Amino acid sequence: MRWKLLRRRLSISAPRMIVRSHLPWPLRWIAFALMLGFSAALGLWAFEFGKSIAGLDRSAKAELAALRVEVEKLRSEREGAQSIANTAESLLRTEKVAQERLAQQLKQVETENLGLKADLGFFERLLPSTGAEGLSVRALQAHAQSATQTKFQALLMQIGKNQPEFVGRYEIQLSGSLDGKPWVYPQPGGPRLLQIKQSLRLEGLIDHPETAVVKTLQIKVTDKQGTVRVTQTVKL
């Protein structure tokens, strides 16, 4: 029996045995990755080679270069337009400032003209007039400065040669109506000191109630003894 088994194993009809080498799993994955990378590189090379053969790469580069030139041109045009816009805005600002300055100067000139006209009218009244020598009031003017103030202006002159210096006092008095009744209002603070050699210009503001209706303004000049030397009244 043993002999038969031994002969069967050693004969041609004995079962075959295959010997295979066993690789670890990490080495198998590394080999697979290398094979996959090689295939991808080969495919990419084939794609690039096909583009170069078909001429697609050259046309794409030429088109890209043309687009870059167009972009630079548009950028240059945009910068030029921006520069023009900035210049125009600067010119508009300069023109606006110049117009504002001209308007201020025009307003100032108009104010000066009004002042000159007022001064001209004032000095026209200073022309010598016939009459007795001595102290006189010239160019008495008055107008409402506001609802609670009246402005007056006058020139006191001594007419004649070798007139001595006059020392005295002057008083301003308003008259009109207040709440429908007659109203007289002397200058607050009482009479003011006055000294005249040849001429003296007087002007000032008088405060009064807002409801008062001022109709006239009177100036009265007295000497040291309290004697009235001259008075003059003007209507508002």
Could you read off the pLDDT tens digit of each residue along the chain, which spans 236 residues? 555 555 555 555 555 555 555 556 666 677 667 777 767 767 666 666 565 555 555 566 677 778 888 888 888 888 877 888 788 777 888 888 888 888 888 888 888 777 766 665 655 555 555 455 678 888 788 888 888 899 998 888 887 777 788 889 999 999 999 888 899 999 888 889 988 888 888 888 989 998 888 999 999 998 888 888 888 989 88
Give residue 8's Cα distance to chain centre.
118
* CB of 236 closer than 8 Å to CB of 143: yes
- Distance CA(197)–CA(186), nearest Å, equals 26
Beta strands in the chain (DSSP E): 134-146, 149-159, 166-178, 181-186, 192-196, 199-207, 212-223, 228-235
The class of domain 134-235 in CATH terms is mainly beta
**Predicted pLDDT at 82:** 82
Q: Look at residues 127, 112, 139, 129 and name the one whose alpha carbon lies nearest to residue 201.
A: 139
* CB of 233 closer than 8 Å to CB of 216: yes
